[in-house]
Amino acid sequence: MRIENRVAIITGGASGLGEATVRSLLKAGASTAILDMDEGRGLAIAAELGDGAAFFKTDVCDEKSVQEALDGAVARFGAIHVVINCAGVATPMKVIGKKGPMAIEKFERVVRINLIGTMNVVRLAAGKMMENTPAEDGERGVVINTASVAAFDGQIGQAAYAASKAAVAGMTLPIAREFADYGIRVMTIAPGLFETPMLASLPEPAKAALNQMMPFPKRLGRPVEYAMLVAQIIENPMLNGETIRLDAALRLSAK
């Protein structure tokens, strides 16, 4: 699918990987809808980027909130062709901590945002995509979800995060097989360690240690490099039903 003149929805689009994707796709000629809870940042980005961008305050876990955002994007831009799910949280917690077993509510919150939130957006956006006029090869849309390398080699304290991201990776192929009848491709990106707000608060010695963990290149990934892969997935029609690690060959240690 060509990026130019398409409409892309980006959850978590007001920061990190999502913001980089918004900027990259807009530069490539797409219209972009930023879905995020951070209203101040989201409105500022949309105002900076101009008519090709719009912000919709969205709770990905809430059906009404997502539906209103999608309806708003269609009203503004005419259709939805691409959905990129970047919204997520990475709350560290041990199953058994110093104060005893983890609060199950904390586990549930991570799974709800990262997994249920992703599915909520996918199912509602796909309903919009099915209405699109088929393009070349009968393609109507592209869904790109975000997992993590923690889905495959999660560290101590990442049980909730790893479980949620493993589920996102695990549902990629079943959904791609189902959506094949509608001409909608489904892919997942599993980033390694990236320069995002999640890591920005770390002290410099900690960041230096993380850099040394990376095989090559020996640095954290840049959000624009995630956006580059998003663009390749959109434009390459043979990419479907797969999870791609974007991690510089990183394999996480136990802790």
Task: For the beta carbon of residue 100, count every other beta carbon within 10 angstroms.
Answer: 7
15 DSSP 8-state letter: S
The catalytic residue among 55, 107, 161, 179 is: 161
- The reply to whether 161 belongs to the active site is yes
Distance of CA 200 to the CA centre of its chain: 18
The SS3 assignment for 11 reads strand
Query: What is the rounded distance in angstroms from the CA atom of residue 25 to the CA atom of residue 23?
Result: 6
Query: What is the rounded distance in angstroms from the CA atom of residue 46 to the CA atom of residue 32?
Result: 9
Tell which residue, 182, 57, 70, has the closest CA to residue 125: 70
Beta-strand ranges (E) seen in the chain are: 7-11, 31-36, 53-57, 82-85, 96-97, 100-101, 141-146, 184-191, 243-246
Hey, which residues are catalytic here?
A: 161
